[in-house]
Structure 1
Amino acid sequence: MSDSPPGAVDLLGVLAYAELTAFLKLAEDAAALAPSLTDRAALSDLAVAEYGHFELLRDRLAALGQDPEAAMAPFVAPLDDWHAQTKPGDWLEALVKAYVGTGIAGDFYREAARQAEPETRKLVDEVLAEESRSEFAVERVRAALAENPKDAGRLALWARRLVGEALSQAHRLAATRPELALLLVAGGAVDGTSDAGQIGIGRLFSRLTEEHGKRMSALGLVPGP
């Protein structure tokens, strides 16, 4: 991978495992939480798409001479922890997680991909395209809130929790995977603990939070202070 910046394998590895776990969690939520067969089928379709993304990333790693399992291994524990800490309690929480929680994680990966070589950047953009998931989640959540506006408060709190957990995990990844952090903060060495690194990552997280606000508005939820 001589034409790629340091950290590109980390980026592909973390994203591959994120897509694999997204497939598993969406399939689980479809079976356990979907209120109708139509919703179950729709969420299952999204799960299948996530698995297709995983295959693309796995194949890219293999084509680069990397062991996909080894590339994913450093990210298994943090991503599994995030899913364990953000297990949805009902259908609406599952939809908000699929849109808001997964969306802010995708923003993190897009930021890293800006510094990668064009082929990897193009693949990341393809994998993270979220039109179908966005339309599905927004439509269902807005319809539910129109029927029961009282759900807005608890879903806003749930979204805030999702994002807080996601940013905490992202910060830990940036601190422990310095080559991945180099992709996130342009200019100068970043080890995740230096003053320059902390300032750069802080600015990154501000941008991620801004995108979160846009998703909350799309759902009909108002971000908390």
Structure 2
Amino acid sequence: MTTWFTRRRPPVELPRLAARAPKAPAVRVDLHDVMPDLLPYLGQAAYLQLEQFQTLSAVAGEAEGLKATEGVAAAAGLALSKHQGIVAEIRRRGDDPTEAMRPFAVAIEGFRATLVGSDWRETLLAALMTGGLLDDFFIRLAGGLPGDIGPRVSQLLGSDSGQEALLEILREEIGADPR
């Protein structure tokens, strides 16, 4: 009986994983290498904010209920403030904001036209998502801007855009009508 406890089990060969290949070195893209010229960057950022203002203003006109209208209108005002801040940067350089934005008008207007939903709620959701993504993208690119313009534009684009209020409006709308 004692042999059961002292007897060793035969060794079991377990499958072993092959050693991993060494990691390939990651290629980092320096945004300074892909940074557009300053004036086109500012013109495109300014026009995107202007288009965001126009989209949110249209949604505010269609929104149902005073709370929703007020929240969307406030976000539209914040987008307009960002636009005006970027326009001020363009003017500080001695350039014409209209001329800086003109090359991007057709493309940005076409992009925004594809985001119009079947009702104001869908359009609001599209404006909220794309506005946030584009603000983040332009904030990252601002790191490559020359001088002190980068931090100013980054701070301007990173300022409050009313997203929390817009999210709350969408939550209430979904809660009221899950369709």
Structure-2 separation of matches of 1:110 and 1:137? 21
Structure-2 separation of matches of 1:95 and 1:115? 31
> What residue is the counterpart of 2:54 in the other structure?
24
Change (3 A) 1:103 1:6: closer
Structure-1 separation of matches of 2:79 and 2:127? 11
> What residue is the counterpart of 2:4 in the other structure?
none
Q: CA deviation at 1:148?
A: 4.5
Structure 1 residue ranges (4+ consecutive) displaced by more than 4 angstroms after TM superposition: none
Identity percentage over the alignment? 25
Change (3 A) 1:148 1:118: farther
1:77 corresponds to 2:106: yes
Give the alignment of 1:40-189 within 5 angstroms. Answer: 40-117=69-146, 119-129=148-158, 131-149=160-178, 151=179
> What residue is the counterpart of 2:45 in the other structure?
15
Q: CA deviation at 1:133?
A: 2.3
CA RMSD of aligned residues (A): 2.0
Structure-2 separation of matches of 1:63 and 1:30? 32
Is the 1:20–1:50 Cα contact (8 Å) retained in structure 2? yes
Is the 1:17–1:54 Cα contact (8 Å) retained in structure 2? yes
Q: State the TM-score, normalized to the length of structure 2.
A: 0.72
SS in structure 2 opposite 1:77? helix
Is the 1:98–1:137 Cα contact (8 Å) retained in structure 2? no
Is the 1:46–1:132 Cα contact (8 Å) retained in structure 2? yes
Structure-2 separation of matches of 1:132 and 1:67? 25
Q: State the TM-score, normalized to the length of structure 1.
A: 0.58
Structure-2 separation of matches of 1:145 and 1:24? 24
Is the 2:38–2:145 Cα contact (8 Å) retained in structure 1? yes
Is the 1:18–1:79 Cα contact (8 Å) retained in structure 2? yes
Is the 1:13–1:71 Cα contact (8 Å) retained in structure 2? yes
Structure-1 separation of matches of 2:136 and 2:36? 20
Q: CA deviation at 1:72?
A: 0.6
Q: CA deviation at 1:79?
A: 0.3
Structure-2 separation of matches of 1:25 and 1:85? 12
Structure-1 separation of matches of 2:141 and 2:163? 22
Change (3 A) 1:86 1:98: closer
Q: CA deviation at 1:76?
A: 0.4
Q: CA deviation at 1:146?
A: 3.8
* Structure 1 gaps, min length 5: 152-225
Is the 1:98–1:133 Cα contact (8 Å) retained in structure 2? no
Structure-2 separation of matches of 1:108 and 1:131? 16
Q: CA deviation at 1:24?
A: 1.4
The alignment of Structure 1 onto Structure 2 pairs a total of residues equal to 145
Is the 1:99–1:134 Cα contact (8 Å) retained in structure 2? yes
Is the 1:31–1:40 Cα contact (8 Å) retained in structure 2? yes
